[in-house]
Amino acid sequence: MASTTSPWNEPSSWHGPKVACEQANGSGTTQDHQKQFAITHITKAPITSAPIRSSLIQQLLKEQLEDLRDCHEGEVADYIPELAKANPEDFGIVMATADGRVYAVGDWEKTFTIQSISKPFMYGLAMSLLSPSFMEKKVGVEPSGDAFNAISLDPRTGIPRNPMINAGAIATAAQVWRHDPGRAEDLTLEFFSSLAGRPLAVNESVYESERASGHRNRAISHLLRNAAVIEEEPEPGLDLYFRQCSIGVTCRDLAVMAATLACQGRNPLTQDEPLNPALTTRMLAVMGSCGMYDYAGQWLYDVGMPAKSGVGGGVLAVVPGRLGIAVYSPRLDAFGNSVRGIATCRRLSQALELHLFDQTPLQQSPVRSTYKGTERRSRRWRSTAEAAVLDPLRSQIKVLHAQGVLDFAALENVLGSIEQAATDGAVIILDLGQVSELPAASSAFLKRQSELLQAAGQQLLLCRSSHLELPAALSREKFTYASLDLALEAAEDLLLEKSACEGSAGNGSTALAAAPKGTPTDACLLGLLAPLAANLREAITERLELRHYAAGSLVMARQQESDQLFLVASGRFSIFLPIPRPEAPARLARMATFSEGMVFGDAAFFSGELRMADVVADTDGSCWLLQRSSFEGLQQDNPAAAMALLTQLAIDLGRKVALCGQQLTLVEDL
Ligand code: GLU
């Protein structure tokens, strides 16, 4: 469980005692297809200039840096002579988040060589070029108890134990070289540059120094050749290994590379995708078990992040899905890990509760709210006949609003809610608008659930899912709707259809099928004017004129004069209101949809103000229009008929207002 102390409510204790490098010496207390894994996208990486941020987080890193500056334990690596030139006092800390924010303090711009931190990335490159299954035959994934530079192979398998020790890393580099001898180094540099988000280059002096002094690594490469792990002469592969280790990076570069791993292979600053999720999972797993030399077990126990360190003084750690951390400080402990690097990561892990196994159970329900169709209806206005059929059935509509990441645990919860809602004849609407991620396994479950419901005579409709990847069977029009409103309308239509199928001839459904015959009387009898005495109705209808509209045509537009009243004779007409959005064109939202016998355009007709909304014909249709001048004529010639019309319109408006008010109140309460 997460501890309850936060770095901010206990400012003096969170970063631990002043003795800076406590426990840094290891005595701590505590068959794939190649294509599937192919690199999806490498561009010539641009130089990213995301600003270094100044904030509370920055301040926290700075406190950390100041606190650990007093730590002078450890020695700068000198077995590669050029590395001994590093300034032991250099110290930089950088954090890069999954959404591309970078916090950097200290010597974050100083270039040093990546050394062993290149190993997991080279392994990722090899897997993407040759497939994971191929690489599994060349290098194992078991932690080794030996030193990182041990001249040994796993006696059981005859191959290097893992790609994080030199034997495994040299075998990996040899495979990358063999894949494309002419371009291996360019491929490597392009790949690393894409991970860091800026062009990287080899430090030639370190490379020369490493090549000249790397007798042990040369011995390892010959051992690999002898064991046929390397199929060609060992020198070119070994040379590529020396060059990959000599790539110059800054602490910021490493943090961005770590963040790219945290983002499943997408660089959060450039949006390049040098890796894919399947590869990053494997890389992080190997880093988790073998990344910190012989300190890997204690590291995972104390710090709990997949990580890799290098003898150049860098440490890179990943909080999967969240962020990357990099530290640069060249003094190393007996295991070859940066002393301050380890201490920094341990403190950050504790203070910020970043330990991988410190997972809090789901705090937020993945189902935000549930209610029935009685509490929220579509903006499609229903005729009296339709309403008579639909209203008693509305409770069969169940709406579920899901939220967050629907991983397995969350989806299991959603499925439970769906099952609960799946009473006889239910139409369940699952709103995915607030779902940030729907992994493939979860969407497959949803598809299966939808099939099960259908087989039981129920229906699952999804809405607001365009940002998610759904299986083709679910993303078909019949199951997926752009808005909750459209899904509610579809659910209502389904209930009406079902009741029409189930009902016998002569019930409400025959009234629903009635169509206007071409005289005002026929159409209006269904609606607004039906209750009027024949003589009054006639006085009104003879002043109406019929107008036809093709599907999709604009019937009226915002800001127009409002000189007409519309009485729908046939077809469907929708009113759209623009919803302003910050920095985006307004979205047109449906306010209402009307069908035969219903009136629109009445509000502005009476107020005399400009139209406030657009009206579009959803289908081919026609309306009876009452011009303002005709209405004024009616008022003159037949005040009784004008009064009767006004009374009907007032009743209609009253109903609309009452229903809108009720819906608003219910919706506000949901
Ligand atoms: N190039 C270094 C070597 O092979 C890398 C070692 C390391 O960073 O652990 O010795």
Listing DSSP states for 572-630 in one string gives -EEEEEEEEETTEEEEEEEEEEE-TT-EESHHHHHH-PPP-SEEEESSSEEEEEEEHHH
More confident residue, 359 or 171: 171
For residue 246, the ligand 1 atom closest to its alpha carbon is: 1
Would you give the end-to-end CA distance of the chain in angstroms? 32
* Rounded Cα gap, residues 586 and 614, in angstroms: 13
- Ligand 1: nearest atom to the Cα of 79: 10
Pairing of strands 323-328, 92-97: antiparallel
pLDDT at 36 over 90: no
Atom of ligand 1 nearest to the CA of 169: 4
Confidence of residue 80 (pLDDT cuts 50, 70, 90): very high
C-alpha 277 – ligand 1 centre gap (Å) = 27
The rounded percent of the chain whose pLDDT value lies above 90 is 69
> What is the whole-number distance in angstroms between the Cα of residue 165 and the centre of ligand 1?
9
Compute, in angstroms, the gap from residue 93 CA to the centroid of ligand 1.
21
Name which residue sits closest to atom 2 of ligand 1, judged by CA: 115
CA of 308 to the centre of ligand 1 (A): 12
Question: What pLDDT is recorded for position 31?
Answer: 39
Segment 420-447 mean pLDDT: 93
Q: In this predicted structure, what is the pLDDT of residue 41?
A: 39
Tell me what pLDDT residue 519 has.
56
Spell out the residues 6+ positions from residue 319 whose beta carbon is closer than 8 angstroms to its own: 262, 305, 325, 354, 356
SS3 of residue 546 by DSSP: strand
Q: Mean pLDDT, the chain, as a whole number?
A: 87
pLDDT at 79 over 80: yes
Task: Give the position, in ligand 1's atom list, of the atom nearest the Cα of 293.
Answer: 9
User: What number does the ligand 1 atom closest to the CA of 312 have?
Assistant: 8
**Residue 166 Cα to ligand 1 middle (Å):** 7
Q: Which of 78, 79, 80, 224 to mutate to test the pocket of ligand 1 (most atoms within 8 A of CB)?
A: 80
Sheet holding 397-405, edge to edge: 367-372, 397-405, 427-437, 459-463, 480-481
Q: For ligand 1, atom 7, name the residue with the nearest CA.
A: 116
C-alpha 150 to ligand 1 mean position (Å) = 12
Strand-pair category, 480-481 with 459-463 = parallel
Q: How confident is the model at residue 549, as a pLDDT?
A: 97
CA–CA separation, 50 and 84 (whole Å): 32
Catalogue the active-site residues.
116, 119, 241, 293, 311
pLDDT tens, position by position, 520-551:
555 455 578 888 898 998 999 999 999 999 99
Expressed in angstroms and rounded, the spacing between residue 396 Cα and the centre of ligand 1 is 66
List residues bridging with 307 in a β-sheet: 317
244: number of Cβ within 10 Å: 30
CA-nearest residue for atom 6, ligand 1, is 116
Of 145 and 108, the one with more pLDDT: 108
Residue of 254, 311, 316, 335 best suited for mutating to test ligand 1, as the one with most atoms within 8 Å of CB? 311
Among 114-118, 343-347, 574-578, which is the least confidently predicted range? Answer: 574-578
Distance separating alpha carbons of residues 251 and 259, to the nearest angstrom: 12
Domain ranges of the chain: 55-352, 367-505, 520-667
Buried b or exposed e, range 577-616, using 16+ CB within 10 angstroms: eeeeeeeeeeeeebbbbbbbbbbbbbebbeeeeebebbbb
Fold of 367-505: Transcription Regulator spoIIAA (3.30.750)
Q: Locate the ligand 1 atom nearest the alpha carbon of residue 149 and give its number.
A: 10
As a CATH number, domain 520-667 is 2.60.120.10
Looking at residue 554, what DSSP letter applies? E
Range 324-348 average pLDDT: 96
Q: Among 76, 83, 115, 210, name the best residue to mutate to test ligand 1's pocket (greatest count of ligand atoms within 8 A of Cβ).
A: 115
Residue 603 has pLDDT above 90, yes or no: no
From 207, 210, 243, the mutation candidate for ligand 1 (largest count of ligand atoms within 8 A of CB) is 210
Pocket of ligand 1 (CB under 6 A): 115-116, 148-149, 166, 210, 217, 245, 310-311, 336
pTM of the model: 0.72
CATH topology of domain 55-352: Beta-lactamase (3.40.710)
* C-alpha 218 chain-centroid distance: 46
pLDDT, position 506: 41
Q: Take residue 128 and report the two structure tokens written for it.
A: 């993407």
Beta bridge pairs of residue 107: none
